[in-house]
Amino acid sequence: MTASEDKPKKSRQLKLDFPESVLTLETLSVTACNRTAIATLKRWPDWRMPALALVGGPKSGLTTAAAAWTEHAGGVLLSAKAFDKLSHKKLEKLASQPFAIDVAQDVRNEDNLLSAINLTARAGGSLLLTGNTAPAQWRVKLPDLASRLKSMTLVELAPPDDEMVSIRLKRAMKRRYLKLPSEVETYLLARIERSYIAIETFVENLHEMIDGREVTVPLSREVLDEMDGTRPLFEDEDD
């Protein structure tokens, strides 16, 4: 055995990802920031409207929630690109059942979107649109479509509260086989920006920077400094 082989090997945290299990409306994490939205999805088929918009920021879980709803309703989930290519005949068939268009703000075929909303209302189906902004803010050219979007009922996946930040941090860390010590979690809850993007970016950057080190407060501070994505301490103290 060589001298180099005698040296103890440094313990390293593996940089690996693994897929999460498919979530349902019953297993989605629910806190104050998304409780109303998830409760509304669960109330299907007792919706009072044929079409509903689910709005949230990037990485807020729009696709996951839409997939969970279509599983719950026995429906179909379409990307904006796939929806753009649908024929009118296929739209008519979809309109009589539950279906969702993910990131519908990216739909380019405005005739299809207007037809989907109108056909769903007539056929008694249910349509869920997801987007990062309210439908009333989507840039569309057809006046009738703009009118439908402005009058659409919406529910929101709001920015994460402390409980959701903790949940999403742990989930993102678990995907990369990283542990989140309690002292690091406490440190981050007081400092990390309240956005889903900030949470995911922090863990991605930590994953890249860890290089065999343990997850500690100093390392977390280093990652946050690189991001420059902290919130002011005690910002809610005077509220």
CATH code at position 167 = 1.10.8
Residues 6 or more apart whose CB falls under 8 angstroms from that of 221 comprise 187
The answer on 132 and 88 residing in a single domain is yes
* Residue-wise pLDDT tens digits, 182-226: 999 999 999 999 999 999 999 999 999 998 899 999 999 999 999
Residues 6 or more apart whose CB falls under 8 angstroms from that of 18 comprise 175, 177
End of a domain among 119, 138, 157?
157
- Characterize 31-52 residue by residue with b for buried, 16 or more Cβ atoms within 10 angstroms of its Cβ, and e for exposed: bebbeebbebbeebeebeebbb
Write down the pLDDT at residue 13: 35
CA distance 11 to 57: 37
The answer on 111 and 217 residing in a single domain is no
Tokens 């889903």 correspond to 196
Where in the sequence is the domain holding 216, given as residue range(s)?
A: 162-227
The answer on 140 and 107 residing in a single domain is yes
The answer on 58 and 136 residing in a single domain is yes
End of a domain among 103, 128, 157?
157
Write down the pLDDT at residue 23: 81
Regions of the chain with pLDDT less than 50: 1-20, 232-239
- Is residue 15 included in any domain, yes or no? no
Write down the pLDDT at residue 229: 53
Structural domains counted in the chain: 2
pTM of the model: 0.84
Which contacts (CB < 8 Å, 24+ apart) does range 135-138 have?
135/53, 135/104, 135/105, 138/104, 138/105
Write down the pLDDT at residue 236: 41
Answer yes or no: are the C-beta atoms of 123 and 116 closer than 8 Å.
no
The answer on 191 and 205 residing in a single domain is yes
The answer on 183 and 95 residing in a single domain is no
Of the candidates 234, 163, 235, 176, the one whose C-alpha atom is nearest the C-alpha of residue 202 is 176
Alpha-helix runs per DSSP H in 134-216 = 143-150, 162-175, 182-189, 196-209
